Structure 1
Amino acid sequence: MAIASLATAGAAAFTTGLTYRDTPRPARMSEPDSQWSDKERTFIGEAQLLQARAQGDLDRDVKSILNVNKRMEYGDFVWNDRKVPKGPVWVRVDLDRQLISVFRDGHEIGTAVILYGADEKETPAGVFPVLARIKDHESSIYDAKMPYTLRLTGDGVSIHASDVRWGRATHGCIGVPPAFAAKLFDQVSKGDQVVILSDQAQRRS
């Protein structure tokens, strides 16, 4: 699941697995609406959220996360926005764990295993607003198709559809499965924030 250490530390830190989401889950909180399914998501308590903010694991509210009860491999993704209301959208990318999570109105609606930049062209960490949305983009530098591009930086770092397979990397972009990319593209608007985290980048700085 996206916030694995909640079960042990009570904090909203995200998964400890490299390419999959852990299955241990915190004790379920009371649900705000009986129409939510227990099997679909876990709700985050106020105390857990406050501790996560104090520890620097999160800088914004998370109301619930998807329950993913399987090992996620390259190319896998889960998407479920059923019953999730309209609201602000933001994206969290964890480079060390190769995971992306999409939130709407504080609820996680999608997660996937990603590709990221190789050593010679690393993916930057930080908080980036979406600068542009380009559905049928093609890179003039690398002569490569980049469908469902969400551009994050002036020099072209983007989230885009990619053939997510073991052993592959990008030129600094974040590659996601094509079907996931299409769903993400439909959710994200220009100006929405993408938070890219990397413990390795923090250690180097």
Structure 2
Amino acid sequence: MSEPLSTLAARCRHQQEIRKSRFLAIAAPVRSGEQALAFLREVADPAATHNCWAWRVGRDYRFNDDGEPGGTAGRPILQAIESQQMDGVAVVVTRWYGGIKLGTGGLARAYGGTAAECLRLAERVPIVSMARLAARVEFAELALLKARLKDLHAQIASEHFDADGVALQLQLPDTRVDDAVLLLRDLTRGRSEAHRLD
């Protein structure tokens, strides 16, 4: 079974010198391609020789060699993200040229290795797959339901009151959906059912 996906808890950085060139990796958690590109624009150093980058959010990903020979920078950075089972992550590796050419293999190792070490040292948080449920309860059952939902790490995304009770939308970890359905059924003595919205 493959390792579960994780993302970064916060921004992180790692710097190393390789044959007189300085490489600085800065990585951050991101939720969208737009957020990744904004991060890239923010941390890229215009005075550096190259600002190479990659990001992955779900099935979407992009990478850029920023003038280095094709395939020697952006793709190795993306491979560092993927090999560490990470998602929702952007990494910029900035290079200040030190006068010694590294060759295509050396460049790929330098960019990929700097990115991989930055991610390896970073604090991670697991990515939890979430589900949404719709349910309806009577007013008298609402307080107890709210108290019990905390045990399932569920949150109420919305609640609408009318004359007959409360219509709820819940957000909770995918692994707790069956528990929530049983809880609702038990609490309402079978009068209410939860339905998935996604």
- TM-score, with normalisation over the residues of structure 2? 0.24
- Which structure shows the bigger proportion of residues in helix conformation? 2
- Which structure shows the bigger proportion of residues in strand conformation? 2
Q: Which has the higher contact order (CA 8 A, sep 6+)?
A: 2
Give the number of the structure whose alpha-carbon radius of gyration is greater: 2
- TM-score, with normalisation over the residues of structure 1? 0.23
